[in-house]
């Protein structure tokens, strides 16, 4: 049911974790993918993996909080775009009393502003092609609160409702906008959370696995949901907020 042959996609945060897995899966399903990441080494490696496997991929170094960088990513699409996966994100574990102003601004710039910048450039291209699919990465903590993560919770809550607003605004252009909300997933960001809190990574992962399915997520788990939302199999799905978390928020 999921065939992306002939589609063009942009994935942000594509150098590692969920973004890397999703870029690879979209390419496997036939899409030509532009990978965007601030880490030039990992982003270029991810694109090379796709092309070595027979897929079509290009890498653009991008700070998603900068308009000029987002312009360069969109230019790499050749002027046509069907799928945008707004996945780039960061976390700073702290309370509202502990977080610095710089860290707050950085989290909001990467997690929210980037979606505005990338989507504003993607939507005209999609509209010109007759429609498209935008998928935003939220979080289980965009649905409910969490301890010592006030800026992250605030940003992901904003992503969830921003998704709904975009779906309303751009549905008439046949552009579907949805949000995936991963639970704890085995990525570098999850390991970094443990370090920020001064905890053992292994112990942190064990605690995160305390959910009905009894494990943490793997990047490919989330990639599969994104691929579905990007495809025609989800042609009537828009404005949805889908938890991909092993029933962690249930």
Per-residue pLDDT at 146: 94
Average pLDDT over every residue of 39-46: 98
Residue 142, in any domain of the structure: yes
What's the domain range around 80?
A: 8-183+218-235
Binned at pLDDT 50, 70 and 90, residue 61 comes out as very high
Q: Look at residue 92 and tell me if it is in a domain.
A: yes
Query: Would residue 45 count as lying in a domain?
Result: yes
Q: How many domains does the chain have?
A: 1
How would residue 236 be classed by pLDDT, with cut points 50, 70 and 90? very high
Per-residue pLDDT tens for 144-180?
999 999 999 999 999 999 999 999 999 999 999 999 9
- Among residues 85, 141, 152, 204, which one is catalytic? 152
211 lies in some domain: no
152 is catalytic: yes
Tokens of 160: 């969830």
**107 is a domain residue:** yes
Three-state SS for the chain is: CCCCCCCEEEEECCCCHHHHHHHHHHHHCCCEEEEEECCHHHHHHHHHHHHHCCCEEEEEECCCCCHHHHHHHHHCCCCCCCEEEECCCCCCCCCCCCCCHHHHHHHHHHHHHHHHHHHHHHHHHHHHCCCEEEEEECCHHHCCCCCCCHHHHHHHHHHHHHHHHHHHHHHHHCEEEEEEEECCECCHHHHHHHHHCCCCHHHHHHHHCCCCCCCCECHHHHHHHHHHHHCHHHCCCCCCEEEECCCCCC
Q: Is residue 93 part of a domain?
A: yes
32 is a domain residue: yes
What pLDDT does residue 1 have?
A: 76
CATH number at residue 111: 3.40.50.720
In a domain, 162, yes or no: yes
- pLDDT digit string, tens, across residues 71-80: 999 999 999 9
């Amino acid at each position: 049911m999921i065939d992306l042959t002939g589609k063009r996609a942009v994935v942000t945060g594509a150098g590692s974790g969920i973004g890397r897995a999703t870029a690879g899966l979209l390419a496997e399903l036939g899409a030509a993918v532009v990978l965007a990441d601030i880490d030039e080494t990992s982003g270029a490696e991810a694109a090379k993996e796709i092309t070595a496997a027979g897929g079509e991929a290009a890498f653009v170094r991008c700070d998603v909080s900068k308009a000029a960088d987002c312009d360069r990513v969109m230019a790499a699409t050749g002027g046509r775009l069907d799928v945008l996966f707004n996945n780039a994100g960061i976390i700073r574990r702290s309370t509202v009393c502990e977080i610095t102003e710089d860290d707050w601004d950085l989290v909001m710039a990467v997690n929210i502003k980037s979606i505005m910048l990338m989507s504003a450039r993607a939507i005209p291209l999609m509209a010109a092609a007759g429609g498209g699919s935008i998928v935003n990465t939220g979080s289980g903590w965009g649905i409910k609160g969490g301890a010592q993560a006030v800026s992250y919770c605030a940003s992901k809550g904003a992503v969830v409702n921003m998704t709904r607003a975009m779906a309303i605004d751009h549905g008439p252009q046949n552009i579907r906008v949805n949000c995936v909300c991963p639970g704890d997933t085995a990525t570098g960001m999850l390991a970094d959370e443990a370090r920020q809190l001064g905890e053992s990574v292994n112990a942190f992962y064990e605690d995160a696995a305390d959910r009905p399915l009894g494990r943490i997520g793997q990047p490919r788990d989330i990639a599969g949901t994104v691929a579905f939302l990007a495809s025609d199999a989800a042609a009537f799905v828009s404005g949805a907020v889908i938890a991909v978390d092993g029933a962690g928020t249930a």
